């Protein structure tokens, strides 16, 4: 009778080859996962900005997207009745978003706390219904463990463009 199966040496060679392949593949997979998280976070924040602008235009009143703690901790979109850039209990909330995982989001000074749109779709600082200085700035989304990221650049008109940034810019 012939015995069927693997010898100990064949099994050790197979496990060694598998270990080498995993050692090569896992870091590459982690880098791909970080890049995917950064892209998803950039898309999610872009959609929130576009929703805020759309709500301002469709209702012809000021709508504001405000961070909850830090931008990567989440945000809320609301109609800003008193034009102060902060949500009061009597101001209707449109939507809220929870934290983003695996990324950090930083903003330059004009977008440090909120993004606000008036009824024409222009981004404006809090002030009055039609007033307030124009608001333009940049949100930078980067993977927590390094890698390439994205910038959301808000123009005076209220439009946003997405730019890829290198790991050094993160």
pLDDT at 154: 97
Nearest-angstrom CA–CA distance, 141 and 71: 10
Closest CA to 152 of 3, 142, 6: 142
- The predicted-structure confidence for 77-91, as pLDDT tens digits, reads as follows 999 999 899 999 999
**pLDDT given for residue 22 in this prediction:** 82
pLDDT at 146 (0 to 100): 84
Average pLDDT taken over every residue of the chain = 91
Please report whether residue 86 resides in a domain.
Answer: yes
42 domain residue, yes or no: yes
Closest CA to 137 of 113, 118, 104, 120: 113
pLDDT for 27 beyond 80 = no
- On whether residue 1 sits in a domain, the answer given is no
pLDDT band of 21, cuts 50, 70, 90:
confident
3 within some domain: no
Full residue range of the structural domain in which residue 103 is found: 9-165
Task: Give how many domains the chain has, as a whole number.
Answer: 1
**Per-residue pLDDT at 1 exceeds 70:** no
Is there a domain that residue 161 lies in? yes
Cα–Cα dist 101/73, whole Å = 9
Nearest alpha carbon to residue 68 among 77, 80, 56, 57: 77
Q: What pLDDT does 130 receive? A: 61
Position 4 in a domain? no
132 is written with which tokens? 């307030």
CATH number at residue 38: 3.55.40.10
Please state the rounded mean pLDDT for residues 108-137.
88
Q: Which of 43-52, 99-108, 130-139 has the lowest mean pLDDT?
A: 130-139
- Quote the pLDDT of residue 7: 84
Give residue 170's pLDDT.
86
Q: Report CA-CA distances (Å) from 11 to 6, 15, 16, 18.
A: 6, 6, 9, 11
Residue 165: per-residue pLDDT: 95
Q: Which residue carries 């810019």 as its tokens?
A: 169
Confidence band (pLDDT; 50, 70, 90) for 131?
Answer: low
């Amino acid at each position: 009778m012939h015995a069927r199966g693997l010898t100990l040496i064949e099994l050790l060679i197979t496990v060694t080859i598998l270990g080498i392949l995993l050692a090569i593949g896992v870091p590459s997979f982690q880098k791909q996962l970080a890049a995917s998280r950064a892209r998803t976070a950039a898309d999610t924040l872009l959609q929130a900005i576009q929703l805020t602008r759309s709500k301002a235009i469709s209702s012809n009143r000021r709508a504001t997207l405000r961070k909850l703690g830090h931008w990567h901790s989440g945000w809320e979109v609301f109609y800003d009745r008193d034009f102060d850039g902060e949500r009061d209990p009597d101001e209707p909330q449109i939507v809220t978003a929870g934290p983003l995982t695996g990324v950090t989001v930083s903003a330059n000074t004009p977008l440090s706390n909120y993004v606000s749109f008036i009824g024409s779709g222009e981004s404006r600082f809090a002030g009055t219904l039609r007033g307030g200085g124009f608001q333009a700035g940049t949100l930078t989304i980067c993977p927590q463990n390094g890698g390439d990221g994205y910038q959301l650049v808000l123009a005076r008109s209220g439009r946003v463009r997405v730019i890829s940034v290198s790991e050094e810019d993160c």
